[in-house]
Structures are given as C-alpha cells and as structure tokens.
Amino acid sequence: MADDATAYIVFDIETVPNGALIADALYAGENLSEEEAVARLEKEALEASDGKSSFVPLTFQTPVVIAVARVSREFMLQKAVVLDAPHYRERRMVELFWKGIETYPDAALVDFNGRGFDLPVLELAAFRHGIGIPAYFGKGAQYRKRFAERHLDLLEWFSNWGAYRMKGGLNLLAKMLGAPGKMDVRGELVAGLWREGKKNLVASYCLCDVLDTYLVFLRTRVLTGEISREDEARLHAGARAIIEDIAFDDPTVEDYLGRWRTPPADA
C-alpha cells in the first residue's frame, strides 16, 4: 500500500519592499512617502552593487504571495496551492504557512535559496505579527541548521553548500529537465506587477516556481538513488493530472503545462 503521508513541503514566496518600514527605519524625519523611501533604497542598492541590482535587502521585504506543494513520502505531488488566494493577506498567509509546519511535523521543507531568503523573510514576518512558531524554533527542531534533516535547500545542495556560485539558478535547472522555468514573469517584475494590482499573475508565477522546484527535487532524488527514471516519469504523470486541474482556472499555469516537455525515461 502506498504511503500517502505528507513528507515534504515544497514552497516559494514573492516579496515587495515594505515602504512604510523603510521610511521609518532608514529615513525617519525626512518626510518621505513609502514610494520615495523604496526608490531611494533601491537607488542605494544599485550603487552599492556597482549597477548590478536594485533589489532591496530581505530585512526590508514583506511577503505578498506564498505558494506551497505537499509531497508524499513516495514523492507524489499531492496538492499545490497559493495560500489565502485571492486575498493575499500577509498575516493570514504567514499564519497558514507556519501552521503547515505544525500540521505536518515530520515533513521536510524543500526550497531553492530558502535558507538565504524565503525562510528569513517568513521568520521576520512572524516576528512582526507576533505569530508563535514553536514547531520551527523548538528544542530538537531540525530546520534552521546547515545539513538539517527537516530542510533541503536545493541551491545549497547543488552548489555543495556554497562551494561555487550557481549561475542560472532554478531557471537553469528547470530548463535542463524540459520544464518551462521562467516564462513571461521574472522576479525583477514582481514589485511593479503588484503595484499595478496584478496580484493573481504574481501568485501564478510563484506557483509555477514551486512546480519547477518540485520537478528539480524529483531529479535530485534520481541522483540519490531514491527513485528511478521510470519512477520519475510516473510521478510526472501524476503531477500533470493535478496541474491540469489548477490550469483549468489559471491561464499562466495552463501555459506552464503547455510548455512542459517531459523527456522519456530512457533519454
């Protein structure tokens, strides 16, 4: 009999700069609007990186979308959702995410650069809202340490825990497998799309990143010998059925499904 217990929680988040916090913490007394404060910090970030990036440090980011996929012990995709859609209320999303850690205490978190970005953002959001997360911080919890049993950061896994810079990231790995990777939306567009009110588009982008992460995760399990290529192909078929249900109401996910090319097991 198949073991259908949730053993993995694959997740991703999207964030935007917290203008109010930036204005209050960095530019107090200067009477800057939230938009002006964000623009100023982005300019400073661009200058500090020699023109490479205007991305605001994670300490001044706030989560606006959290997408999650539950995966069984046998690596079957069980469900993929965007938390608190279509409302995207920050406190509620963050509560639901951390509640999932309590609900599935034996499940491991799987992400891409989660230890360096997603989890610190969610920890700070819990701190800001006063949300207790004892299952995550409690004695014996195995999430926060390097090589932790309950957390697999795929970026660290592939880069040998920072031994080299993995240029191309999740997008590269997904495309190596025939998955769509980045499509019409990219990370640098998220803040602008969110300001324009295109929240559902940002949410769909985040969900597609979770699907990419799941597919990359499966291939790593082929490398570790936990599943075969034949198993992977079977798991892809099961995932497609779930994604097709989501795509029925989501044009972005429908596009994702249309672009996904699964190589044969003997390729």
What strands lie across the sheet with 61-72, from one edge to the other? 77-82, 61-72, 6-17, 108-111, 151-153
Beta bridge partners of 164: none
pTM, entire model: 0.94
Task: Tell me the percentage of the chain whose pLDDT exceeds 70.
Answer: 97
Contact at 8 Å (CB) between 208 and 254?
A: no
pLDDT tens, position by position, 107-157:
999 999 999 999 999 999 999 999 999 999 987 788 988 788 899 999 999
The residue written with tokens 């996910």 in the block is: 253
Q: Give the relative orientation of helices 251-259 and 199-224 as an angle to the nearest 10 degrees.
A: 30
| DSSP one-letter code for 153 | E
Task: Tell me the percentage of the chain whose pLDDT exceeds 90.
Answer: 84
- pLDDT category of residue 188 using cuts at 50, 70 and 90: confident
Cα–Cα distance for residue pair 8/216, rounded to 1 Å: 14
Cα–Cα distance for residue pair 17/2, rounded to 1 Å: 44
pLDDT at res. 146? 79
Contact at 8 Å (CB) between 175 and 35?
A: no
CATH topology for 6-259 is Nucleotidyltransferase; domain 5 (3.30.420)
pLDDT tens, position by position, 212-240:
999 999 999 999 999 999 999 999 999 99
Cα–Cα distance for residue pair 121/11, rounded to 1 Å: 13
- pLDDT category of residue 184 using cuts at 50, 70 and 90: confident
- pLDDT category of residue 262 using cuts at 50, 70 and 90: confident
* CA-to-CA dists, residue 252 to 84, 172, 258, 259, angstroms: 18, 20, 10, 11
Residues with Cβ within 8 Å of residue 173, at least 6 apart in sequence = 154, 158, 212, 216, 219
Asked whether residue 1 carries a pLDDT value surpassing 50, the answer given is: no
Domain boundaries in the chain? 6-259
Q: Can you read off the two tokens belonging to residue 254? A: 């429908």
Q: Can you read off the two tokens belonging to residue 263? A: 């190589």
